[in-house]
């Protein structure tokens, strides 16, 4: 099937897709904040971490990535359907995104961070949000369970990032 837009129109449409502050990302931040979690989003230390995580919870040594179901190839999700046109290009693009996600996650774990991936479909409707809200403490709490309590507690604002 041919594209219904000209090359210039398609380029403009694609340029309007945001990488930061998307609706699902803002909804997740609102949900986390309402649950009492404090985090950083655009801090200078966030930008130095591999993959530039969407949300960093320093108190829990946890980073959160908010993945769009299409761009990151969410398997068995109704929001992900491989395009029929330029199929090879899209397979390479989405496959590259998946490979990068795995590499970044491995790097962050090697640095001692707990990595959580939230898919956009988990915030799509009220039932999905309720399910996610019930799961977030256990997803984030994994890092807190392995925390070394023999060292003195450091305030969230003062806790240094790993570089």
| pLDDT beyond 90 at 160 | no
Q: Is residue 162 part of a domain?
A: no
The CATH code of the domain that includes 130 is 3.40.960.10
Q: What is the mean pLDDT of residues 117-140?
A: 90
Under the banding of pLDDT at 50, 70 and 90, the label for residue 19 is: low
Residue 58 near residue 153, CB atoms below 8 Å? no
Contacts made by residues 99-106, CB under 8 angstroms, sequence distance 24+: 100/51, 101/51, 101/65, 101/67, 101/72, 104/50, 104/51, 105/51
Given this model, what pLDDT does residue 37 score?
92
Q: Is residue 155 part of a domain?
A: no
Number of independent structural domains in the chain: 1
| pLDDT beyond 70 at 43 | yes
Residue with the larger pLDDT of the pair 2 and 160: 2
Does residue 92 come out as left (phi exceeding 0), alpha (psi in the -120 to 50 range) or beta?
alpha
Q: Is residue 63 part of a domain?
A: yes
Q: Is residue 13 part of a domain?
A: no
φ and ψ of 11, to 5 deg: -60, -45
Q: Which domain holds residue 81?
A: 19-143
Q: Is residue 93 part of a domain?
A: yes
Q: Is residue 163 part of a domain?
A: no
84-116 per-position pLDDT tens digit: 888 999 999 999 999 999 999 999 999 999 999
| pLDDT beyond 80 at 153 | no
- Other beta carbons within 10 angstroms of residue 70's beta carbon come to 18
Q: Is residue 35 part of a domain?
A: yes
Q: Is residue 113 part of a domain?
A: yes
Q: Is the dihedral of CA 48, 50, 54, 57 positive or negative?
A: negative
């Amino acid at each position: 099937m041919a594209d219904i837009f000209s090359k210039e129109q398609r380029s403009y449409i694609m340029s309007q897709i945001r990488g930061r502050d998307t609706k699902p990302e803002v909804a997740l931040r609102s949900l986390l904040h309402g649950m009492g979690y404090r985090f950083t989003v655009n801090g200078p230390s966030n930008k130095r971490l591999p993959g530039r995580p969407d949300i960093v919870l320093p108190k829990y040594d946890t980073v959160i990535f908010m993945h769009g179901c299409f761009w990151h190839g969410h398997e068995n999700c109704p929001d992900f359907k491989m395009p029929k046109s330029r199929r090879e290009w899209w397979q390479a693009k989405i496959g590259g995104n998946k490979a990068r996600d795995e590499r970044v996650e491995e790097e962050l774990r090697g640095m001692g961070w707990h990595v959580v991936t939230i898919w956009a479909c988990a915030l799509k409707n009220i039932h999905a949000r309720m399910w996610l809200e019930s799961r977030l403490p256990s997803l984030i709490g994994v890092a807190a369970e392995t925390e070394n309590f023999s060292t003195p507690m450091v305030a969230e604002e003062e806790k240094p990032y790993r570089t």
